[in-house]
Amino acid sequence: MIVTASRGVAQSALAVAVFRETVTSGRVSSMAMILSGSAVYGWAKDRFIRRAQSTDVELQTEFNQKQEIMKEQISEQTFVPPVKVYDIDRALGETR
C-alpha cells in the first residue's frame, strides 16, 4: 500500500514534467506528505528488521554458549550406568 502511494506520486510528478500539468499547493503538499510518510515507514521497517536479526543472533549465541557449558559439565562427570531394580534384587538374592 505504501509502494502504491509512492508510485502515484511518481506518476503525478511525471505528468507535471511531461505534460506540463498544473500543480496546486494542496497537491504539492499531498505529494510531499506521501513521500515523507513512505520514507519514515521504510526507515522504521528497516530498523525493525535489523533489531529482529540482532536479537536472533544474540539468542543463538547465548544458546550456543549454554550448550558448550552443558557439554563441558557432562564430560567432567563420571558416567555411572543405571542399575535396574531387579539386578539389585538378584544380587541380594531376593525375589519379588
Count other C-beta atoms under 10 Å from residue 96's C-beta.
5
91 within a domain of the structure (yes/no)? no
86 within a domain of the structure (yes/no)? no
Q: Per residue in 25-81, pLDDT tens?
A: 999 999 999 999 999 999 999 999 998 888 888 888 888 898 888 888 777 776 666
Domain containing residue 57: 2-77
89 within a domain of the structure (yes/no)? no
- Grid cell digits, residue 23: 500543480
53 within a domain of the structure (yes/no)? yes
Domain count, the chain: 1
85 within a domain of the structure (yes/no)? no
50 within a domain of the structure (yes/no)? yes
Count other C-beta atoms under 10 Å from residue 31's C-beta.
19
pLDDT of 24 over the 70 cut: yes
Q: Per residue in 65-89, pLDDT tens?
A: 988 888 887 777 766 666 555 666 6
39 within a domain of the structure (yes/no)? yes
pLDDT of 96 over the 60 cut: no
User: Closest by alpha carbon to 9, among 42, 29, 35?
Assistant: 35
